[in-house]
Amino acid sequence: MYAFEIDRPTTLADAVKALGAEESQALGGGQTLIPALKARLAAPARLVALSGVDEIKGICTADDGALCIGGGTSHADVAKGAGAYPALASLAANIGDPAVRNRGTIGGSLANNDPSACYPAAVLASGATVVTTNRQIAADDFFDGMFATALEDGEIITEVRFPVPEKASYQKFDQPASRFALVGVFVAKYPDGVRVAVTGASEDGVFRWSEAEAALSSDFSAGAVEGLSLSGDGMISDLHGSGEYRAHLVGVMTRRAVAAAG
Amino acid sequence: MPKDGGIGASSKRREDVRFLTGTGNYTDDINLRGQAYVHFLRSDVAHGRLEKVDTTDAEGMPGVIRVFTGADFEGVGGIPCGWQVTDRFGEVMQEPAHPVLAQGKVRHVGDPIAAVVAETREQARDAAEAIVLDIEELPAVVDMKAALEDGATKVHDDLTSNLCYDWGFVEENKAAVDEAFGKAAHVTSLELVNNRLIANPMEPRVAVGDYNRASDESTLYTTSQNPHVIRLLMGAFVLGIPEHKLRVVAPDVGGGFGSKIYHYAEEAFCTFAARALNRPVKWTSTRSEAFMSDAHGRDHVTKIELALDADNNFTALRTDTHANMGAYLSTFAPCVPTWLHGTLMAGNYKTPLIYVNVKAVFTNTVPVDAYRGAGRPEATYQLERVIDKAARELGVDPIALRRQNFITEFPYATPVAVEYDTGDYHATMDKLEEIADIKGFAARRTESEKRGKLRGLGVNCYIEACGIAPSNLVGQLGARAGLYESATVRVNATGGLTVMTGSHSHGQGHETTFAQVIAEMIGIDADQVDIVHGDTARVPMGMGTYGSRSLAVGGSAMVRATEKIINKARKIAAHLMEASEGDIELKDGQFTVAGTDKSVAWGDVTLAAYVPHNYPLEDIEPGLEETAFYDPANFTYPAGAYACEVEVDPETGRVTIERFAAADDFGNVVNPMIVEGQVHGGLAQGIGQALLEGCAYDENGQLLTGSYMDYAMPRADDVPFYHVDHSCQTPCTHNPLGVKGCGEAGAIGSPPAVVNAVVDALRTGGSNITHIDMPLSPSRVWQAMQG
């Protein structure tokens, strides 16, 4: 780890101010950034720890019924507190290990946008809104390929608003070593249609499988997506599985998610 | 029920109190006054010529004490190899130099180029980044078969090729084996890979070098399974320090699995630098460094052929193996694919003719050496896989085919130079069929099918040669050391015992088991016995722990030394009771005179030994301390039968282990709980090899599995509850405890059971798959199912 300065603001306003300084970087739960620092793969001059900012933590229900989760809320707290959206709580309960779940935050995960992370699939499939210190960003506009998002420098995710679906399920197929998603599929059924988001598979990061969405919107059953398939082109291909295998798993996990959603 | 603390009792592990309460003393807990830290700059290319290593800027960095390079080790010995194999043609193996720091070339990712010693670890690391390297990258030699082609790039320019040796065993049998294949009614052949593994002990390696200028003594604290061996290798071959001026301490060690047997460059460096700088020098491996500097295991590519007659009797076996040595020869590397592998190819079967060919190959990868089982898992895997394949080809029951060919008479001299002293393979197979509930499998398969899963059953046997090893034999085979063990038993005046053993415990529970043996022999409580190990200054001599040898060899030395103690104590007791020595009996810590009510307690005798007021001084010396060296007459041969049941998800290729049963014959058992724990651990590692673990390099020699993000270790939910049994006991005939060794069995016996089960499951699903190479990851299984 290289030497760095660290700020520990306790208010959002102070955090924003601190992030305005040159070469500053936000530190959420640190479950990605700290290992990178230890491996000397990152060398920020100044870290702004968000863990002391209580105003971006917690879970509540908005007037329109959306489940609102503070950007600084840990996965463990989402697992415990998102009972109104069981598929989301279940997703959070199966991220990483207890240490990751107790330290890692939803805002940190989304800002990092690891192509194998679980949360991006939930946000995209739910058509959630990412609320930041500057604006509100629709899920469809937020993710921008591997490790890239619409966030600007110094912008902090304060809240994520999830419309609660009628039915939903997230099915993750673990990469055997890391247990990140080799493929993860989140299916959410809303009154106006079904959304299907896939993580872990594509070289472009999380994406919506529109063909499956169309089929499921007219017939929400595993059989409706039986014949559908994706191409292995553009899918991640590595030691743990070819693009073809990942494309195949998207189909399998989608069917299972629909079946599990009931 | 045996008494707690005696032989046969599942006494709780006394060492666990300190391990579980955080009061262990591991090497990284050792911090010496004035200690400096070293960081090794390691090669990030697999193969290259070192054109320049410019340390000028680094030397001026804050906190830097000195920067060492390969030039500082010119004239210093290289890391030695402890075993010399002689090839098929009577020539000795090619043995390259292995400098402490790279000289001229780098040969694998992780090869140390320079070492920065600084006041803090971070300063050392900062300065290492300021070293300017100019490396002319050379083509990497990765694939073993390509490495042996004419014109292949050479890993070592001064060797004639990348071939370390071409070994044939038994060479004299080759023509007869070929002839038997010509006459065979059926031949089954199989090509397979025994995947390269990384040991990953929980505690990474650490070394602390210290030097005392007043006494001219060097001390090395290190994470080793055998401190005396390190003292010998480093003192005699690398640094030229005589043994009386070199102390090696291996305190609590957090797992080894073989990877901490070897003498490593970092140990020599810290000892050397402490002397050069007159300051203690410490190195603590990061996990990332461990992946590219700890010796790897396995990595064999084999073609095996089994010949059978018309009655399905095995008539001959022939194998052709390429074994990866990596870039340099690690301490015992040449021995693993030869004498620890070829000698086990008979397995549990009376195959009369066997020929094993092994080509050991240098590549631009981390050195490969023994890993839990070492050679014996490779032998077992290929043999038990080819037998399973033969059974399927012949349409016979795999268990029946094995039973038909079992060795049933002992001692049994195999055609591959070893003599099994005892065993009963039908008994362990009978026990396996019972505990695995083989009869109930069909019903369980039907139940799995209802859930859309393919269920498979895999069964195999194993035998291993452990209790390593008779020195005169291994000397003929190329070992450069004796493989006896020593023990010193020191009885204190008040009756307690300090037992110094050359065996080293790094998870095996010796402090409990060994005390049980001695307590039983004397009839005292086990808490009267303390086991000391891991320090060349406290233990006179030792060869360490590997090859499931500690109880069979180290324990035997302890028994011999304790027998000497008891004999002397009996003389003292006879004197105290004015009786004839021949009438003295020892039971429950009391010496009695046969046929009388006279008795004297153990503690009174030991006190008399040190306060010899009433003592036979004309016959024996005061004091009660004895040393014994035990050199085994033969290997021991644990054996058993394992069964695995898997479910395969046909949609994803994911394999889950539903049941696993192990019936082992370890001979006599001292602590059943510890033995079961050893089997559990071995099974987890064997299942890890079969389903999860696989070290991979790309074509440029870059390590693709350099962290736990890509190297899959087995976790608790990857393994099932085990059914283990060790009630079949044919005691070893040639050691005093009748014990055989249990540390490696699980890792040896389990991979073929898993793979046999998966192949069985897939064939149930209508596939004609005959083999999938380990690890059987979901993607590999799925890919195989696509045809």
Q: Residue B395 falls within a domain, yes or no?
A: yes
To the nearest whole Å, the CA of B704 is away from the closest chain A CA by 8
Residue B152, domain member (yes or no): no
Distances from the Cα of A241 to the Cαs of A248, B269, B289, B778, in angstroms?
Answer: 11, 41, 26, 8
Mutate to test the interface with B, among A41, A116, A245, A254 (most CBs of B within 10 A): A245
pLDDT at A59: 98
φ and ψ at residue B53, rounded to 5 degrees: -130, 95
CB B652 within 8 A of CB B616: no
- One domain for residues B608 and B651: no
* pLDDT at residue number B1: 62
B314 forms bridges with which residues in the sheet?
A: B308
Out of A2, A40, A241, the one facing B779 most closely (by C-beta) is A241
Nearest by CB: A177 against B652, B710, B783: B710
Tell me the chain B residues in contact with residue A2 when contact means C-beta distances shorter than 8 Å: 126
Closest-CA residue in chain A for B649? A252
Minimum Cα–Cα distance from A173: chain B residue: B652
What counts of helices (H) and strands (E) characterise chain A?
Answer: 10, 12
The C-alpha of A252 sits at a distance from chain B's nearest C-alpha, in angstroms, of 7
- Can you tell me the distance from the alpha carbon of B96 to that of B99, in angstroms, rounded to the nearest whole number? 10
The answer as to whether B475 is a domain residue is: no
- Return the pLDDT at B767: 86
Q: Which residues contact A97 (CB under 8 A, 6 or more apart)?
A: none
Q: Cα A213–A218–A223 angle (5° rounding)?
A: 80
B713–chain A nearest CA distance, Å:
7
What is the total count of domains within chain B? 3
**Residue B1 falls inside a structural domain:** no
Last residue of a domain, one of B293, B312, B342: B293
A133: helix, strand or coil: coil
pLDDT value, residue B646: 98
A98-114 mean pLDDT? 97
Three-state DSSP at B620 gives coil
Query: Smallest Cα–Cα separation from B634: which of B414, B474, B463?
Result: B474
Residue A177 at interface with chain B, using a CB cutoff of 8 Å: yes
- Classify residue B158: in a domain, yes or no: no
Cis check: omega of the bond before B411, within 30 degrees of 0: yes
The CATH number covering residue B570 comes to: 3.30.365.10
Question: In chain A, what's the furthest Cα-to-Cα distance?
Answer: 56
| Residues in contact with B165: Cβ distance below 8 Å, sequence separation at least 6, in sequence order | B85, B86, B87, B91, B92, B93, B94, B334, B338, B358, B359, B360
Task: State which residues form the domain around B489.
Answer: 16-23+484-630
In angstroms, the separation between the Cα of residue A78 and the nearest Cα of chain B is 24
Same domain flag for A116 and A174: no
Enumerate the residues of chain B whose CB falls inside 8 A of the CB of residue A182. Answer: 778
Q: What is the edge-to-edge ordering of all strands in the sheet holding B625-630?
A: B529-532, B497-501, B485-491, B625-630
- In order of B223, B370, B378, B479, B545, the CA distances from B255 in angstroms are 9, 14, 22, 25, 11
Domain closes at, from A128, A162, A196: A162
- A186 and A143 within one domain: no
* A199 and A101 housed in the same domain: no
Smallest Cα distance from A121 to chain B, Å: 20
Structural domain harbouring A126: 5-162
Q: Are residues B376 and B524 in the same domain?
A: no
Indicate if A127 and A212 belong to the same structural domain.
no
Same domain, A35 and A49: yes
**How far is C-alpha B547 from the chain's CA centre?**
5
Tell me which residue in A176, A248, A249 faces B712 most closely, judged by beta carbons: A176
Tell me the three state secondary structure of residue A105.
strand
How many Cβ atoms are within 10 Å of B682's Cβ, its own excluded?
A: 26
For residue A1, pLDDT over 90 is answered with: no
**Half-sphere exposure (CA, 13 Å, Cβ side) for A129?**
10
Probe site for chain A from B291, B652, B691 (most A CB atoms < 10 A): B652
- Binding-face residues of B in 234-293 toward A, CB within 8 A: 288
CB atoms within 10 A of CB B374: 29
Q: Do B396 and B525 have their domain in common?
A: no
Q: Look at residue B765 in the predicted model and tell me its pLDDT.
A: 81
Same domain assignment for residues A29 and A114 = yes
Backbone angles phi, psi at B293, to 5 degrees: -135, -20
Dist. CA A233–CA A236, nearest whole Å: 8
B175 inside domain? no
Contact B692 A176 (CB under 8 A): yes
Domain-ending residue, one of B596, B614, B630: B630
User: Six-digit token pair at A50?
Assistant: 């968000």
Structure tokens at B252: 């609590």
Tell me the per-residue pLDDT of A109-118, one tens digit each, with 9 for 90 and over.
999 999 999 9
Co-location of A243 and A122 in the same domain:
no
Residues B532 and B614 in one domain: yes
Asked if the C-beta of A35 comes within 8 angstroms of chain B's C-beta atoms, the answer is no
Q: At what angle do helices B745-764 and B672-687 cross, to 10 degrees?
A: 50
The token pair that represents A134 in the structure block: 């500057």
Query: Where is the domain boundary, B601, B630, B659?
Result: B630
Closest Cβ opposite residue A39 in set B288, B777, B778? B288
Q: Output the DSSP codes for B736-784.
A: TT-B---TTHHHHHHHHHHHHHHHHHHHHTT------PSS--HHHHHHH
The pair of three-digit structure tokens given for residue B513, joined into one six-digit string: 């088991």
Same domain, yes or no, for A173 and A140?
no
Residue A41, chain B, CB below 8 Å: the answer is: no
Token code pair at residue A242: 């070819």
**Is B779 in the A-facing interface, judged by CB distances under 8 Å?**
yes
Mark yes or no for CB contact B705/A173 under 8 Å: no
**Residues 6 or more apart in contact with residue A46 via CB below 8 angstroms:** A4, A5, A6, A7, A18, A21, A22, A23, A24, A25
Q: Are residues B304 and B285 in the same domain?
A: no
Query: Residue B122 and residue A1: Cβ atoms within 8 Å?
Result: yes
Å between B65 CA and nearest CA of chain A: 20
* Whole-number pLDDT of residue B764: 87
- Listed residue (A52, A48, A60) closest to A5, CA to CA: A48
B737 near B487, Cβ under 8 Å?
no
Residues B497 and B558 in one domain: yes
Sheet holding B584-587: strands in order across? B584-587, B590-593, B599-601
Q: What is the model's pLDDT at position B332?
A: 96
Give the nearest chain A residue to B786 (CA atoms): A245
- How close, in Å, is residue B514 to chain A by CA atoms? 38
Q: Does residue A114 share a domain with residue A58?
A: yes
CB A87 within 8 A of CB A45: no
The complex's ipTM?
A: 0.95
Chain A touched by B710 (CB under 8 Å): yes
Quote the tokens at residue B35: 């200690």
Determine whether B122 is exposed, middle or buried from the number of CB atoms within 10 Å of its CB (0-12, 13-18, 19+): middle
Please answer yes or no on whether A252 and B651 come within 8 Å at the CB atom.
Answer: yes
Whether chain A has a CB inside 8 Å of the CB on B697: the answer is: no
Per-position b or e across A13-51, b if 16+ CB within 10 A of its CB = eebbebbeeeebbbbbbbbbbeeebeeeebebebbbbbb
Do A137 and A198 fall within a single domain? Answer: no
Q: Does B782 touch chain A (CB under 8 A)?
A: yes
Residues B306 and B289 both lie in one domain: no
Q: Residues B552, B682: one domain? A: no
- Which pair of tokens denotes residue B495? 């009756």
pLDDT of residue B495: 95
Peptide bond connecting B38 to the previous residue in cis, omega within 30 degrees of 0: no
Distance CA A124, CA A189 (A): 13
Among candidate residues B654, B719, B710, B650, the one with its CA nearest the CA of residue B684: B719
| Pairing, β A207-208 against β A193-199 | antiparallel
What pLDDT is attached to residue A118?
98
Please classify residue B60 by burial: count the beta carbons closer than 10 Å to its beta carbon, then call 0-12 exposed, 13-18 middle and 19+ buried: exposed
Residues B774, B690: one domain?
yes
Encoded tokens for B312: 């399905």
Q: Residue B586 domain-assigned?
A: yes
A257 contact B CB<8A: no
The residues with which B54 forms a beta bridge, in sequence order, are B132
Instruction: Please indicate, yes or no, whether residues B285 and B314 belong to a single structural domain of this protein.
Output: no
Residue B574 one-letter amino acid: A
B372 and B271 assigned to the same domain: no
Element (H, E) at B473: helix B471-476
How far apart (Å, rounded) are the C-alpha atoms in residues B93 and B85? 6
Does residue A85 surpass a pLDDT of 90? yes
CB contact under 8 A, B651 and A239: no
Q: Does B687 touch chain A (CB under 8 A)?
A: no
Question: From the first residue on, what is the mean pLDDT of each consecutive set of 10 residues in chain B (787 residues)?
Answer: 87 96 97 98 98 98 98 95 96 98 98 98 97 98 98 98 97 96 98 98 98 98 97 96 97 97 98 98 97 98 98 98 98 97 97 98 98 97 98 97 98 96 98 98 98 97 94 91 95 97 95 97 96 96 94 97 98 97 95 96 97 95 98 97 98 98 98 97 98 98 97 96 97 97 97 98 91 98 93
Q: Which two tokens stand for residue B148?
A: 């042996």
Query: What tokens were used for B499?
Result: 């037992």
Residue type, B690: A
Sort out which chain B residues have CB atoms less than 8 A from A36's CB and list them: none
Structural domain contains residue B174: no
Asked if residue A127 and residue A19 are part of one domain, the reply reads yes
In chain A, how many domains are there?
A: 2
Would you call B778 and A252 a contact, using CB atoms and an 8 Å cutoff?
no
Q: How far apart are CA B475 and CA B707, in angstroms?
A: 39
Secondary structure (3-state) at B41? strand
Distance, in Å, from the CA atom of B38 to the CA atom of B31, rounded to the nearest integer, reads 14
Residue A17, chain B, CB below 8 Å: the answer is: no
CB A187 within 8 A of CB A258: yes
CB contact under 8 A, A240 and B709: no
Both B595 and B533 in one domain: the answer is yes
The DSSP line for B119-186 is SSHHHHHHHHTT-EEEEEE------HHHHTSTTPPPSSTTSSSSEEEEEEETGGGHHHHHHHHHH-SE
Contact (CB<8Å) B652/A252: yes
HEC string of B357-389 equals EEEEEECCCCCECCCCCCCHHHHHHHHHHHHHH
Same domain, A120 and A33: yes
Which of these three, A162, A197, A228, is where a domain ends? A162
Question: Which CATH number covers residue A140?
Answer: 3.30.465.10
Catalogue the E-assigned strands of B482-554: 485-491, 497-501, 529-532
Question: Quick check: B122 contacting A, CB < 8 Å?
Answer: yes
CB-based contact B778 A241, cutoff 8 Å: yes
Under 8 Å between Cβ of B453 and B647: yes
Among A130, A162, A194, which residue terminates a domain? Answer: A162
- Tally A–B CB contacts below 8 A: 45
Preceding amide of B469 cis, omega within 30 = yes
Which residues 304-333 in chain B show a CB within 8 A of chain A? none
Q: To the nearest whole angstrom, how far is the Cα of A179 from the nearest Cα of chain B?
A: 8
Cross-chain residue pair A242–B779, CB shorter than 8 Å: yes
- DSSP assignments along B254-314, one per residue: ---TTTTTS--HHHHHHHHHHHHHTS-EEEE--HHHHHHHS-EE--EEEEEEEEE-TT--E
Q: B651 and chain A: CB distance < 8 Å anywhere?
A: yes
> Which CATH number goes with the domain that contains B238?
3.90.1170.50
Instruction: Write the single-letter amino acid at B327.
Output: A
